Chains A and B, each alone.
Chain A
Amino acid sequence: MANKLEIRHLTKKYGSFTALSDMSFTLEPGVTGLLGANGAGKSTLMKLMTDHMKRTGGEILWNGTEILTMGAKWRELVGYTPQLQGLYDEFTARRFLYYMGALKGMKRRDIKTETEEMLEAVNLSQHAHRKIGTFSGGMRQRVMLASSMLGKPQVLILDEPTAGLDPEERIRIRNDIAELARDRIVLLATHVVSDIACIAKKVLLIRGGERIAFDTPHALLENAEGKIGEFVGTYDEIRAKQAEYPAGEIAERRDGFVLRIADDPLPEGCVPVTDNLTLEDVCHLYLKGNRQYV
């Protein structure tokens, strides 16, 4: 039977401010993309899932068991990459991974082999003996990622793991994640929508702490059909139009300037786009404002 992680009516309040309200969805093996604007509550959701803070209400069930009652058993299953880079400057990359291995309660033998494996996976083998203090931002991010994948946990919770990586590294790591996710649950929060588009089985859209949509990328794209359109005109015309749609994207094409907007229903004079819709368009449509997903 495949593993299942159920989130039910999860709520989190910071004082009187509600960061997460009544969130429900079920994760299954494969990558689930988590999209949301800054401050939408992505990190909050992830911290609740790793039992880092107290929740205000709701439950999180692993194959039917509440994770709070599982305690250390639950954390054994989880690999987590926090958003803030928390790494000790004085540790070398290898030592840090060994340390994480010890913290994860791995067998000594496994720690060594898996560390080397992970260093290879994030392409840091030749820097493993260096202190993390001397690493670049992207390298740190990769150490962090390696540490969360160490021990091949059943559930991977990754909070913007690809932030600050160069394109090549991003693709490498994306592939690694996809590979890992074949029989594991991966929740991946990011602002780089194309990452999710490539590997996600499902996408969770949240806005202001509320769930907007939880669906396959394909279904999301279908839903967006007819809600994305383009104005075509001279530069000045397009600039004038953009005042109305600040989130619109301007591009120059052979037939003049184009402003691509998301709106439902599309305004007059706007030509609906049909062929090259992307998840980015879906984000434009739902992550800001108060449009409902149907």
Chain B
Amino acid sequence: MYELRRLLCDPKRILLLLMIALCNLALFAGYCRTRGQEDERWRQQMAAWGTDLDEYDAKRAAEKQAATEKYLNETYPQYLEYVQSQSGTQSVLGKLAAKKDDFVQRNLEKTAKDYAKLEGIKVRAGCDDTVNAVKDYDVTDYLLLIAPLLLVLSLAADTETAVGALTRTTKRGRLPLCGWQALAVVIMSALSVLLLYGTNIAYACAVLGDPVMTRAVQSVPEFQLCSLRLTVGGYFLAAALLKTLAVTVFALFLWLMQARIHPLAAWSVSAAVIAVCFLTHKLILPTAKLSHFKFLNVFAALEADVFFTQYSNLNWFGFPSNFRTDMLITVGGLCVILTVLCLVLIGYCRPGKLGSKMELLGDRLAQKFARLTRRRTLFGFEGWKILIAQRGFLVLLIAGLLGFSLWQQTHLYVWVSQESKQIYDQYAGEVTEEKRTDVANRLETLANQIEQQQARIDKLMERGGDPQAIANAQYRLQKLQSDFNLYSALQDALQKLADYTARTGLPAWFIQQNSYQLLFRENASIRRGCMILLLFLIFMFRSLHAYDNQYDTEMLLRATKRGRGHRRTAAWLWVMLLTALAAAAIHGIYLVRLQQDVGFSMPEAPAQSMELLQWIPVSVSLKTVITVQLVLQYCAALLIAGGTVQISRFSRTPETALLIAMAVFLLPSALAESGVTQLHFLDFVHWLSITASS
């Protein structure tokens, strides 16, 4: 009991957990904002082209409503019917064919039986977006792991130290103690899930809308395949339980590895196992023959959404078995087995580590490696300290994973209508007198055509002509009118640009601005990336100096020839390098995505072509502005890295530095991100994503 309190009520640990929860909230909030962003951007574009927004919104809402109703009243009931009928017809066919491999047959029957349980289910409308946002956001799943894994690492480290040796000599210091520790791991996992996943749910409910917890989860189209009788609330609860189970499995596994196997071996084995699990889960398709590996996987349990949104029966020697049952058995079984193993191997057996020979091997390898890399320069050593001794490579790895998921989640499609595309093709570029007269002529023609069309309609009406013909004519009129609007908007735009050039003498072109708008204005997508960047900087550089402080080596190092200036310089070079790497990755991902999804047209155009950038007093191209913005963003990142380094310098241990840096940089940013607008000036994410417009 005392052990439990010691492990769970440690203020540092609690603080860390809260910090993680806050980061998660900030990231999730950003995510929710990006979800709505596409719509919003489209709306604004519509507004720019002269559409009445109220009308547009009403239309959209009606469309959505219709789609929902269609799903609830038609698609879903039909689907259920279809599953049942399928089994009937197929079974006749199957019997006729008398096939040897009758998995297909059995599968259909089982499917029908499973869905039969859903009979009489009532699906109703509610805010589906809330459920989907919570379901889709998978960064939380990885953040969930941090606190329990850290707990487990500290437990494993305890067995090494004098404390471990001391406690083991006491009466209740072995099995009972280990039992309490295992319980602490489970509680920590549950706590972590409750806090992080819980905030996501609460935030989504508050911001996106009421998901109506009591309706059947199948009311959400994404859950059409679910064959469980669950309400939305029940889904949240079940997902949380499943996640807790998965997190516990991860934690126990790592504990066992770290406590009983030599660190080098433990890290390699755990990394290999986890990588294999991750890849099999991600790469195998649900319909593949070997989908067993996809579904019977801790990652499947951790992400939890497949469990509820898929339906599949695994083929066990010709017999179908629902993957959900199998997954539960696998993960639950793993949990039990690992707990027992932990109790026996860590609690009961004497401490000692497998694979101590690894040490020799590891050192040989390291020596070979050292010979290869000639790590005898100060720069090399400082790098070694940051990346290996302070576990920076882990931070890099995790940041890489987050970056990858960011890459996958960033989509920046902007819909461009055929008409406007045509206009850009024709008129983009310098604003010439020729183009302007062309537009004016065009407008005149259009005005004439509208007049004529109007006259024609009037005539038709007068004559009481064919209603179909009238409707056609009216449609054509509408088309002409919208073209007219488009061209007059174009004329205004050209006029404005020409005026600007006349006023200031700076060139300004007419260009397709979509991608630049997204680049030069702060938006949720890039903010999310910058949040990751901020986390990276804090975690990477927390221990730069604190590591030396921790081991009290400052005095020794400072007494050497190159122990002052040179050493600092080497460390700083690393800071600059790693910061550059991270900043380039984050902003690069965004740039490349923009290029792919939207495309930069005419990067050589003058910056003043955009109203946003007309404050720039000299003539520069958009390309230059992009470069300058990137440099500024790098400087901002460097500033924060420098701040973290300073904090590290005055901290006794890396953990203290981490907590302080989080409190200084992350807290205000996370609060600002989650909606506390008063803190905007302390919003470091805003600094990192500094744009030409701000």
Contact = CB atoms under 8 A, between A and B. Distances in A.
B408 interface: no
B552 A84 contact: yes
Contacts of A103: 378, 557, 560-563, 566-567
Nearest to A49: B559
Interface string A72-85: 11011010111011
Query: Which of A52, A102, A111, A157: most chain B CB closer than 10 A?
Result: A102
A88 B551 contact: yes
Nearest to B376: A108
Given A91-B389, A111-B376, A47 B555 contact: yes
Contact of B359 (A73, A104, A130): A130
B648 to A, nearest CB: 16
B556 A144 contact: yes
Nearest to B567: A103
B438 interface: no
Contacts, number: 94
A35 B266 CA distance: 49
Contacts of A98: 370, 375-376, 381
A23 B384 CA distance: 42
B154 to A, nearest CB: 15
B381 A99 contact: yes
Interface string A15-29: 000000000000000
Contacts of A105: 560-562, 566
Contact of A101 (B374, B376, B555): B376
A104 B381 CA distance: 13
Given A86-B556, A88-B389, A104 B551 contact: no
Nearest to B547: A88
B560 A88 contact: no
B418 interface: no
Contact of A52 (B360, B551, B555): B555
Contact of B555 (A86, A95, A100, A108): A86
Query: Which of B360, B381, B389, B557: most chain A CB closer than 10 A?
Result: B381
Interface string A118-149: 00000000000110000000000000100100
A122 B363 CA distance: 21
Contacts of A81: 556
B624 to A, nearest CB: 41
Contact of A80 (B359, B551, B552, B556): B556
B565 interface: yes
B377 A102 contact: yes
B417 interface: no
A92 B363 contact: yes
B551 A86 contact: yes
A111 B381 CA distance: 13
A100 B559 CA distance: 10
Q: Interface residue tally of chain B, by bracket?
A: 35 or more
B553 interface: yes
Given A72-B561, A72-B562, A88-B389, A102 B376 contact: yes
A91 B556 CA distance: 15
A89 interface: yes
Given A75-B559, A75-B560, A102 B378 contact: yes
Interface in B620-672: none
B359 A100 contact: no
A50 interface: yes
A86 B549 CA distance: 9
Contact of A86 (B375, B553, B565): B553
Contacts of B381: 98-99, 102
A174 B43 CA distance: 83
A90 interface: yes
Contacts of A51: 559
Contacts of B561: 72-73, 75-76, 103-105
Interface in B513-544: none
B262 to A, nearest CB: 11
Contacts of B563: 75, 103
Contacts of B367: 129
Given A75-B563, A86-B551, A102-B376, A129 B359 contact: yes
Contacts of A88: 385, 389, 547, 551, 553
Interface in B540-585: 547, 551-567
A171 interface: no
A247 interface: no
A87 interface: yes
Given A86-B552, A90-B389, A100 B558 contact: no
A1 B366 CA distance: 45
Contacts of B560: 75, 100, 103-105
Contact of A147 (B375, B389, B556, B566): B556
Interface in A189-214: none
B247 to A, nearest CB: 28
A164 B370 CA distance: 32
Contact of B553 (A52, A87, A95): A87
Interface string B374-416: 1111101100110011000000000000000000000000000
B569 to A, nearest CB: 12
A51 B561 CA distance: 11
A277 B487 CA distance: 112
B564 A72 contact: yes
A120 to B, nearest CB: 17
Contacts of B376: 98, 101-102, 108, 111-112
Contacts of A82: 555-556, 559
Contacts of A84: 552, 555
A157 to B, nearest CB: 8
B42 to A, nearest CB: 53
Query: Which of A47, A51, A105, A112: most chain B CB closer than 10 A?
Result: A105
Nearest to A144: B556
Interface string A34-77: 00000000000001001110000000000000000000110110
A91 B551 CA distance: 12
Nearest to B381: A99
A87 B551 contact: yes
Contacts of B378: 102-103
Contacts of B555: 47, 50, 52, 80, 82, 84, 86
A170 B378 CA distance: 32
Query: Which of A88, A89, A103: most chain B CB closer than 10 A?
Result: A103
Nearest to A129: B363
Query: Which of B378, B381, B555, B567: most chain A CB closer than 10 A?
Result: B555
A-B pairs with lowest CB-CB distance, top 9: A86-B553, A86-B552, A129-B363, A76-B561, A80-B559, A90-B389, A103-B560, A50-B559, A105-B561
Interface of B: 359-360, 363, 366-367, 370, 374-378, 380-381, 384-385, 388-389, 547, 551-567
19 contacts: A73-B561, A75-B559, A75-B560, A75-B564, A80-B555, A81-B556, A82-B555, A82-B556, A82-B559, A84-B552, A88-B551, A98-B375, A99-B381, A103-B378, A103-B562, A108-B376, A129-B363, A130-B363, A157-B559
Given A86-B555, A98-B370, A108-B377, 16 more contacts: A50-B558, A52-B559, A80-B555, A80-B556, A82-B555, A84-B552, A84-B555, A86-B552, A88-B547, A88-B551, A88-B553, A91-B389, A98-B376, A104-B562, A105-B562, A129-B360
